[in-house]
Amino acid sequence: MTHRHALITGASSGIGAAFARALPKSTALLLTGRDRGKLAQLASELALSSRPVRTVAADLSTAEGRQAVIAAAAEQPIDLLINNAGLGWLGPVVENPPEREAEIVQVNIAAPVEITRALLPGMIRRARERGERCGAVFVASAAAFMPIPLFATYAASKAFLLHYAEALAEELAQDPVDVLALCPGATETRFFERAHVAPGGVPASHDAARVAREGLQALGRRVVHVVGPGNYLATAAARFLPRRFVTAAAERAMRKWR
């Protein structure tokens, strides 16, 4: 890893915090998240290794929060962008809180698009000037490969990220930038608790440290990486089986989560 300055969204806990811990100590960090206290704790932990760490508490579901992150990132030469922040809500769309549905779209789609568009031109220009490469990671999901009733907006938002990253990689194929859509399955984080999933309803298939480690290893080697062989087989099947069958099977599985 040769990246000198990394921005990680959703870094307060889970996969975002795992990325911060997995990056080399030579990489300066800009960490963002909603929880100011947890960001401060993580920054204190990482600063023990004498690495530069900055934090900005921001709510990416708001335009003000997204602009605060962009402004903070403008103060240092970011060359690795990890769009990790994301959230979901389990339940039928017509019964879910409308503010939560809108929040999912803003955090999972609007935030990575706005932040990437703001930072990527400068990242590419600096990489070209230095004769190096920069990187952009989009934490999507194994859910990105199929429609998922009762998790409809979340799955659709992750499908957006997957397609966005793949298209972006092709657009920038001649530029010194590596783009990765990272697709973990159920991971040991607080995501499901926050998504209104019943305790114990989802068996986690891997931990956040593994997701971050595989993501960093895959960056520059491939455009899409699905974490875990079981998830890979499930996503492959979803692409080839009849769509109605996949959707019906997903609904049955989600009902168990409730």
**What distance in Å separates the CA atoms of residue 191 and residue 228, rounded to the nearest whole number?**
18
Judge whether 150 and 258 are in contact, CB under 8 Å: yes
Would residue 158 show up in a list of annotated catalytic residues for this protein? yes
Q: Which of 38, 158, 164, 256 is catalytic?
A: 158
State both tokens at 34: 């909603």
Question: What's the alpha-carbon Rg for the chain, to the nearest Å?
Answer: 18
Residue 127 burial (CB < 10 Å; 0-12/13-18/19+)?
buried
Cα–Cα distance between 155 and 251 in angstroms, integer? 12
CA–CA distance, 54 with 181 (Å, rounded to integer) = 25
Identity of the amino acid at 153: T
- What is the torsional sign of CA 188, 82, 11, 198? negative
Structure tokens at 88: 């979901």
Q: Enter the tokens of residue 137.
A: 């990671």
Burial class for 62, CB neighbours closer than 10 Å (0-12, 13-18, 19+):
middle
- Catalytic pick from 154, 164, 232, 256? 154
Annotated catalytic residues are 154, 158
